Amino acid sequence: MTAQQIIFLIAAIYTLASGVLTVTSRNLIHAAFWLISAFFGVAAIYALLNANFIAIVQIVVYVGAIAILFIFAVMLTRRDLRVSEHRLNKGWQIGAALAAALFVGMVSMLAQWSGFTKTADAFPTQFDAVGALGEALTSPNAYVLPFEVASALLLAALVGAVYVAFNPRADENSEAQK
Amino acid sequence: MIPLSWYLILAAALFCVGLFGMLTRRNVVAILFGIELMLNAVNINLVSFWRYGEITSMSGQVFTIIVFAVAAAEVSVGLALVISAYRRRNTIVADELDMLKW
């Protein structure tokens, strides 16, 4: 076993264990912290795949922004800090069976694919992946249109989130109290 | 060297863990946790296919960036909905948010 394989196995087991704890923790705050830990594990996997920029973006966007948003939402919506008695719904066995069946199905289907055990060529040392990614995102011959559509989507999500979460009655109440 | 299968099996397992969380958790925020895990599993697939395929074509990484943007949009709108629903119904348990049931 090479060092790379050992690092992969550690990162993979860490990510999967964090993921399982995320979906089974009784306390939602604990679940949010396990989710952050799973994001770090995925960032380690990206680094192993020579996608350094994606690994950094994973930490900045997921851990830095999305996870903090989750923790805010958990803290803003909990009535009390006690743990609710039922964290899973009644049909959780069906969900578990579906997830297990999907995993077995995906792996058995992939096992028949000829490229499944392919190994990567050595990463070319002079190749500037970040520069190539930047060019791909801004070149009209490549992905500038999806990039712009993504920015429009983010703007629409921003406006939509503000509109949905905005509470007109809160202003009236605070003015009435004055 | 690590064969491609290891990454694909990891991504499949992470996707199924996220699917389990999405299907079975009662709390709406925890359902969003499951969706995030699934999106991360998809991203592992995209990046590993980039690494094991044609490195000079950056499609895999570009798609990963787009998925990041979509995930951020999804989380912001989803959490705004959760907060709005909590304000009106005082609960975020998915079984009790049944305004659309008839």
CA distance B58 to B50: 7
User: How many residue pairs from chains A and B have C-beta atoms closer than 8 A?
Assistant: 255
Task: Please give the class, per CATH, of domain A1-79.
Answer: mainly alpha
Mean pLDDT, to the nearest integer, of B59-87? 89
Residue B25 has pLDDT above 70, yes or no: yes
Interchain contact, B13 vs A16, CB within 8 Å: yes
Q: A119: which strand partners?
A: B3
Domain coordinates of chain B in residue numbers? 4-96
Q: Across all residues in chain A, what is the average pLDDT?
A: 84
Ordered by start, the domain boundaries in chain A are: 1-79, 130-178
The rounded percent of chain B whose pLDDT value lies above 70 is 99
The whole-number pLDDT of residue A81 equals 47
- The mean pLDDT value for A122-145 works out to 83
Residue type, A40: F
Q: Which two tokens stand for residue B86?
A: 């909590």
Q: Which of A126-140, A163-177, B26-40 has the lowest mean pLDDT?
A: A163-177
Q: B65, A54: Cβ pair inside 8 Å?
A: yes
Min Cα separation A172/chain B (Å): 15
Q: How far is A76 from chain B (nearest CA, A)?
A: 8
**pLDDT-derived band at A75, boundaries 50, 70, 90:** confident
Residue predicted with more confidence, A143 or B96 = A143
Phi/psi class of residue B90: alpha, beta or left (left: φ > 0; alpha: ψ in -120 to 50)?
A: left
What residue type is B95 in one-letter code? D
- Chain B closest CA to A19's CA: distance in Å? 7
Among A19, A65, A72, beta carbon nearest to B72? A65
Q: Is the CATH code 1.10.287.3510 the one for domain B4-96? A: yes
DSSP secondary-structure letter at A63? Answer: I
Residue A52 has a pLDDT of: 87
Q: Which residue, A97, A85, A164, is CA-closest to B26? A: A85
Tell me whether residues B62 and A133 touch, CB distance under 8 A.
Answer: yes
